Amino acid sequence: MFGFTKGCLKMQRWDELAQFFSNNGALVTFGLNALTGREKVKDDDLYIGDWNYQNAQDFINYNIFKGHKIDSYELGRIEAEQYAKDMVVLKEIVKKSYPNPMTRPKVLGPGGFFDEKWFSTFLQQSGPNVVDGLTHHIYNLGAGVDKDLINKVQDPNFLTLVAQTYKDVSRVVDRFGLWSEAWVGESGGAFNSGGKNVSNTFADGYWYLDQLGMTASLNHKPGVTLLLINMSNSTTFNVDLVNDHNLFPEPRMTNTRPWLQEREEYHITPKDGNIRSNQVLLNGKLLTLTQTSNIPEMKPVFVTTFSPIKIAPHSFVFVTIRNLQAPA
């Protein structure tokens, strides 16, 4: 359909990737080919037949032998009834291969655009405790070639339109899969490899962080608790924290300012104030790779906990309050 050629992930290459993921502390979800063993229906895009899981089984065994840590396995999507049947097989493979539940990878699926009837049927047919994460795809910005893309990522009303999809997925999980969780398995904002001078710039953070906060508030895993974004190009906001005893644990001790209660703040701004810049500043200092091409150390500024959080125009602010004791 897309003109891709057949390929093969060689074990040497996979070992290199797995080592890279491990060195950088990444959680790995590996997508398995659900079409192996099936036959294509003539004059149709539909594939029929049972999934041949042998290659997947061998790959899982190889990862265990090599010590490669996999957070979750995801199986590609076909018709709901057949897919549910195959997912049960995958779950049994993972359970037998990883007998310790504490180190067992999650099983995710279906990894496609949300269709309420399909997703509901899938959860009902696969049954309890098979699917750990119900994954769906989000590309709510539309095509990457859209010349209005830069305006879409800055429009809160447009960005909020996708909230209904998150609500619908969460409702399906509540009705048919309480043992599972709603996940966004894949998202790039704009499809067709993103939008030039938008998806690879500071401005894309407006879309990404907004979606991150939205999914967390609508029962998707994982997520964030509080997110503050200033899309204005001229207005600075000062945000006060409510004076609650849960926010202020034992004082944080420092050599230079003892007995002061402090929080950590990370202020992200675009270079020269240009939101289409692909360079960003952390607390006023340009972020660049180290001499060994590694991600630099992210150093916060320490601010007295009782003072307001200042959110400058066109900026993102990440705030950390250590030892926070919040009620469940």
pLDDT tens for each residue of 162-211: 999 999 999 999 999 999 999 998 888 888 888 999 999 999 999 998 88
Sign of dihedral through CA atoms 122, 187, 192, 289? negative
Q: In this predicted structure, what is the pLDDT of residue 58?
A: 94
Higher-confidence residue of 39 and 167: namely 167
203: nearest Cα among 312, 280, 309: 280
308 neighbors 234 (Cβ within 8 angstroms):
no
Q: How confident is the model at residue 255 (pLDDT cuts 50, 70, 90)?
A: very low
CA dist list (Å): 175 to 6, 119, 180: 39, 11, 11
Q: 105 near 97, Cβ under 8 Å?
A: no
Q: What is the pLDDT of residue 1?
A: 40
Structural domains of the chain sorted by starting position, each given as residue range(s) with its CATH number in brackets: 11-222 (3.20.20.80), 237-320 (no CATH)
Other C-beta atoms closer than 10 Å to the C-beta of 136 total 24
**282 pLDDT higher than 60:** yes
Contact 141, 190 (CB under 8 A): yes
Q: CB–CB of 276/150 below 8 Å?
A: yes
CB 190 within 8 A of CB 145: no
Burial class (CB in 10 A: 0-12, 13-18, 19+), 118: middle
pLDDT (0 to 100) of residue 215 = 87
Note whether 66 and 16 are within 8 A (CB).
no
Pairing of strands 29-32, 72-75: parallel
In sequence order, the 6+-apart residues with CB closer than 8 A to the CB of 79 are 46
The lowest-confidence range among 68-77, 104-113, 201-210, 258-267 is 258-267
Asked if pLDDT for residue 246 goes beyond 60, the answer is no
Query: Per-residue confidence at 130, pLDDT binned at 50, 70, 90?
Result: very high
